[in-house]
Structure 1
Amino acid sequence: MQWWTDIRRKVLVEGVSKRQVKAEYRIHTKTLEKILAHPKPPGYRMNKPRPKPMIGPFLGRIDEILQQDRELPKKQRHTAKRIFDRLKEEGYTGGYTQVKDAVRNARVRLKDVYIPLAHRPGEAQMDFGYALAKINGQLRKVAFFVMSLPYSDAVYVQAYEKICTEVFWDGHVRAFAFFSSVPCRISYDNERVMVAKVMKRHQRKLTDGFLQLQSHYLFKEHFCNVARGNEKGVVESMVRCTRSNFMVPVPEVRSFDELNRMLEERCREELGRKLRGKDGTKGQLLADERGRFIDLPVVPFESCRVRTCTASSLSLVRFDGNDYSVPVRCAA
């Protein structure tokens, strides 16, 4: 860099001739013109990519393999070594280093790019999570229902023994009552309690249980693409936040009812917090967005299954794999 500065000073300030400078520093005319045109070395730029006669014909194949890997579990995706082995079977005669560099560059090029989502008032996201809780002295893994409103950041959480249709119903009924209205649009993943089958062209066959709930409350549904939890990132983050803030240390309660009262109280406390970057508390923002919500139906939804059963001669009825006693007069 010093000689670059010296040459520029001699020609542009001291008036030394270009011929004399070229002779003194033994540089070409084009090099001197570049030095005079740029205050610092501009660096080398290739006019066109270097030819890759060995790996070049296989670059498209590498991209194809990596694209197919995106649909597979991470632990079952191709390594650069495995791609190298496959390319050799397909006629590649070059070395491993070229394949490794090509795979690294392709992964950078094919990497997903995300942009922050803007959330409109009146929309919700729902998900399930798991955490440990000590209930009646017994440490248990419990499922918890989370519904979050991204605009106001209000959240509702309830814990259950397992994930099933009745739990899905009950969580919604309680969340809508907590928010005093129904979000106009709710985003979901593809849990079996909601989606019976993911079909082509992003179509889904919804379960009867989901359709019953939707018909009662009349909200619109939105389902994320498979393996794209980032599309409902607010509630994904809220599940982690609930586990770390509401369930740490491990809560010790006598029953699920006591645990759920505690969780609902924590949700009410959250409404008093101010959301960073917005004016007002979460509760005030929730009140503002209620204008976009749907009013609660006059008749509440019954979050239970009704089945007709026949009692055995032992005065027992079977439901969901379990036997229940009934009065003797009901026995067959």
Structure 2
Amino acid sequence: MDLARKVRLACAEGMSQREAARYFNISRDSVSKMMAFSTPPGYRRTAPVKRPKLNGYTEIIDTWLAGDREVHRKQRHTAKRVFERLRDEHGFTGGYTIMKDHIRERERRVREMFVPLAHPPGHAQADFSEAVVIIDGVEQKAHFFFMELPHSDACFVRAYPAATAEAWVDGHIHAFAFFGKVPASVLYDNDRCLVAKILPDGTRQRATLFSGFLSHYLFRDHYGRPGKGNDKGNVEGLVGYSRRNLMVPVPRFTTWEAFNTYLEEQCRRRQADVRRGKSETIGERLARDLAAMTELPAAPFDACDQATGRVSSQALVRYKTNDYSVPVAYGHREVWIRGYVDAVVIGCGGEIIA
């Protein structure tokens, strides 16, 4: 999925399909398939590359390189010197390339990253948080999706009953529709709805639904350091602002839709404000953000979890621990299931049955 997203993004930025095939070292048929589908079928690597020849030697290499921090920079191990010592002192029989690849990956893991405080237009930060609300007379915990454009401080806020992967994606779709454009990049934390796993080299293995969403809208995703909320300080500030200004007193609405309509109105009103230290309104600076952002795709992404099931003898379909009733005429048949933020749709063939 990541390769497909990179190929689609490169072609969207002007690279031809022939050039993409040559650059990514894949066939032109594969490029055509990736451009035709947001989530193209095909083989994906499921595990990191294995280097059995290095087994037992990586600890030695890491010890040498860790010790290099205490010596003068001009007397530290080069990859060539590490290879020679492994071969001469420890009987290493592997190749130079696999040893050098390990050193490169190790250096990437330990290298510190910084997020700049000067924000160019066209980029965004996103987060989820919680607050207590009253919906239809019932006090409950609401989960809020936040997106802020740090250059202009323009924002979007939307509430959900739960912070699910579908809510994350649905929040993005509504935010993009609110701004009318797609940011060039979005900065996130490492929420499990977005990142399935952080690999040893720091690479993020994206969740399936979120990866398909990225491929559809073709923007860059960046991630802060685990446990370092200050890496995306602008949207963290928006969370605090929203709690103080939009959640006090405790919001009371008849429906979630009415509540979200109110939140959207407040986001629009905020665009007339002039932030401290700025001479222009948020709306005036937003114009520069929008000029640097890309157009929306022809159709929005279908923000749903996809699954399959079978109708039981009692005309029930099981989906995520819940049973859903369908017409008895579909008993014992295979069905498809789409789980949205606020609904579950069940179909058989090309027909929706529940």
Give the TM-score of the pair, scaled to structure 2: 0.60
Q: Residue 229 of structure 1 corresponds to which residue in structure 2?
A: 229
Q: Give the secondary structure class of the aligned counterpart of 2:306.
A: coil
1:115: how far off?
A: 9.8
Q: Residue 238 of structure 2 corresponds to which residue in structure 1?
A: 238
CA distance in 1, matches of 2:221, 2:301: 18
Deviations 1:114-142 (A, max 9, x none): 99811111110000000000111111011
Residue 134 of structure 1 contacts residue 253 of structure 1 at CA under 8 Å; is this kept in 2?
yes
Q: Give the secondary structure class of the aligned counterpart of 2:201.
A: helix
CA distance in 2, matches of 1:322, 1:259: 27
- Cα root mean square deviation, aligned: 1.5
CA distance in 1, matches of 2:145, 2:138: 21
Residue 115 of structure 2 contacts residue 231 of structure 2 at CA under 8 Å; is this kept in 1?
no
Structure 1 gaps, min length 5: 1-113
CA distance in 1, matches of 2:115, 2:196: 31
Q: Residue 148 of structure 1 corresponds to which residue in structure 2?
A: 148
Deviations 1:241-289 (A, max 9, x none): 1111111110111111111111111111111112332332211211222
Matches within 5 A, 1:160-171: 160-171=160-171
Q: Residue 134 of structure 1 corresponds to which residue in structure 2?
A: 134
Deviations 1:217-246 (A, max 9, x none): 100011001111111000011111111111
Q: Give the secondary structure class of the aligned counterpart of 1:201.
A: coil
Matches within 5 A, 1:53-202: 117-202=117-202
Letter in 2 for 1:131: A
Relative to 1, partners in 2 of residues 1:178 and 1:115: Cα closer, same or farther, differing over 3 Å?
A: closer
CA distance in 2, matches of 1:259, 1:160: 10
Matched, 1:323 2:294: no
Q: Residue 247 of structure 2 corresponds to which residue in structure 1?
A: 247
Q: Residue 107 of structure 1 corresponds to which residue in structure 2?
A: none
- Structure 1 stretch displaced more, 214-223 or 301-310: 301-310
Residue 148 of structure 1 contacts residue 234 of structure 1 at CA under 8 Å; is this kept in 2?
yes
Extract structure 1 runs of 4+ deviating beyond 3 A.
none
- Structure 1 stretch displaced more, 293-302 or 115-124: 115-124
How many pairs are equivalent? Answer: 219
Deviations 1:290-317 (A, max 9, x none): 1110110011111122322211111111
User: Aligned residues: percent identity?
Assistant: 44
Residue 145 of structure 1 contacts residue 159 of structure 1 at CA under 8 Å; is this kept in 2?
yes
Q: Residue 269 of structure 1 corresponds to which residue in structure 2?
A: 269
Q: Residue 27 of structure 1 corresponds to which residue in structure 2?
A: none
1:325: how far off?
A: 1.0
Letter in 2 for 1:203: T
Letter in 2 for 1:318: R
Deviations 1:187-207 (A, max 9, x none): 000000111111223222111
Residue 194 of structure 1 contacts residue 206 of structure 1 at CA under 8 Å; is this kept in 2?
yes
Q: Give the secondary structure class of the aligned counterpart of 2:305.
A: coil
Give the TM-score of the pair, scaled to structure 1: 0.64
CA distance in 2, matches of 1:265, 1:124: 20
Residue 202 of structure 1 contacts residue 225 of structure 1 at CA under 8 Å; is this kept in 2?
no
CA distance in 1, matches of 2:276, 2:328: 62
Deviations 1:14-59 (A, max 9, x none): xxxxxxxxxxxxxxxxxxxxxxxxxxxxxxxxxxxxxxxxxxxxxx
CA distance in 2, matches of 1:209, 1:299: 17
Q: Residue 211 of structure 2 corresponds to which residue in structure 1?
A: 211
Q: Residue 32 of structure 1 corresponds to which residue in structure 2?
A: none
Q: Give the secondary structure class of the aligned counterpart of 2:118.
A: coil
1:173: how far off?
A: 0.1
Relative to 1, partners in 2 of residues 1:209 and 1:295: Cα closer, same or farther, differing over 3 Å?
A: same
CA distance in 2, matches of 1:236, 1:199: 26
Letter in 1 for 2:252: E
Residue 187 of structure 1 contacts residue 222 of structure 1 at CA under 8 Å; is this kept in 2?
yes
Letter in 2 for 1:188: Y
